[in-house]
Amino acid sequence: MTVGRREGAKERGGGGGSSELRPAARTAPGGAARRWGRRSARPAPRGCAAVEPRAVRNMKVKVISVLEDNYMYLVIEESTRDAVAVDAAVPKRLLEIVRKEDVVLRAVLSTHHHWDHARGNEELVRLCPGLRVYGADERIGALTHRVAPDEELTFGAIRVRCLFTPCHTSGHMCYFMWEDGSPDAPALFSGDTLFVGGCGRFLEGTAEQMYANFTQVLGNLPKETKVFCGHECTVRNLKFALKVEPENEAVKKKLAWARQRDDEDLPTVPSTLQEEFLYNPFLRVTEEAVQKFTGRKEPVEVLRALRTEKDNFKKPKERPHPQAMLAFDWGLFAPFLEKK
């Protein structure tokens, strides 16, 4: 992955910026070399020698900061200038980026139904005729295509595999993206299942489900996979990770880096799966230090105890009401803030 020039600093509640990702899957989730709808090379014209296929690099990810600490993503297929949005919570901000990038928004992928991830769907469908909205939960607003576990989608050169990860909500879906023929890392849009250094709350599921998500679904993806999560909560997560494993040097190093990024108002996404297994306690439930902290040995029980501890760990300071943050993003307060 290459990181492109940002549009500006990440702003709490409405800023935007971009990282540039050109991902690919050399291996399928699980590491086995599978061909998922892989297109074969065209035969060379008569009288011409066959040409070795070149690496394809058509996919770019724009990281868009909105609301209190949410991320939306705009995934651009550069050869066609078509785009797909992930978790389109604030349509006004998303469409600003769409216009600036001079792309056509073709689809929205919603990880789950919560308002801070899917509230913008209805307005986007109204403003963009023919827009497709994908998700696994009927509670997702303006849903046009309900996806099934392991279903595969195609957007130009971009391939998407839908990974069902119930627990935070009963219909949570992560999206694994890659390009055929590209040498670069694939991308995982993990919503509120996996965060940098943490995981989502178990609102509609169990520790058993989240453990299965981590070990049987996300844990089987290529370790170089870039993780784009739904919230910027890395510093808080890593402070908890340091409490769990105070001698873990990977945690200390990542926390120092994340604090610096936070001070500079810059995002901490993406991480990689390989990195997460070094400092994310929710992926380290078989480690002796994590088990000692929880007083448990069985992995699911360790995970359950960790989540309980995290839920009670240093409640964040009082913040503006989420609806007020949304109003700021939509520009509703602009007339009152203009200088006279």
Could you say which of 87, 113, 137, 168 is catalytic?
168
The answer to whether the bond into 186 is cis (omega within 30° of 0) is no
- Give the DSSP H/E element, type plus range, for residue 305: helix 299-311
Q: How far apart are CA 209 and CA 14, in angstroms?
A: 33
To the query of whether residue 168 is one of the catalytic residues in this protein, the response is yes
The verdict on whether 231 is a catalytic residue reads yes
User: 78 and 60 in contact (C-beta within 8 Å)?
Assistant: yes
Active-site residue flag, 114:
yes
Euclidean distance between CA atoms 171 and 139, whole angstroms: 9
Task: Give me the catalytic one of 114, 172, 184, 329.
Answer: 114
Active-site hit among 69, 87, 113, 116? 116
Cβ contact 172:117 at 8 Å: no
Any catalytic annotation for residue 112?
yes
Among the listed residues 69, 113, 117, 329, the single catalytic one is 117
Q: Determine whether 145 is an active site residue.
A: no
Which among 69, 87, 184, 192 is annotated as catalytic?
A: 192
116 is catalytic: yes
Residue type, 62: K
Separation of alpha carbons 168 and 155, rounded Å: 27
Contact (Cβ atoms closer than 8 angstroms) between residue 261 and residue 17: no
Question: In the structure, how many helices (H) and strands (E) does the chain have?
Answer: 11, 14
User: Could you tell me which of 199, 195, 138, 196 has the C-alpha nearest to residue 167?
Assistant: 199
Catalytic residues: 112, 114, 116-117, 168, 192, 231
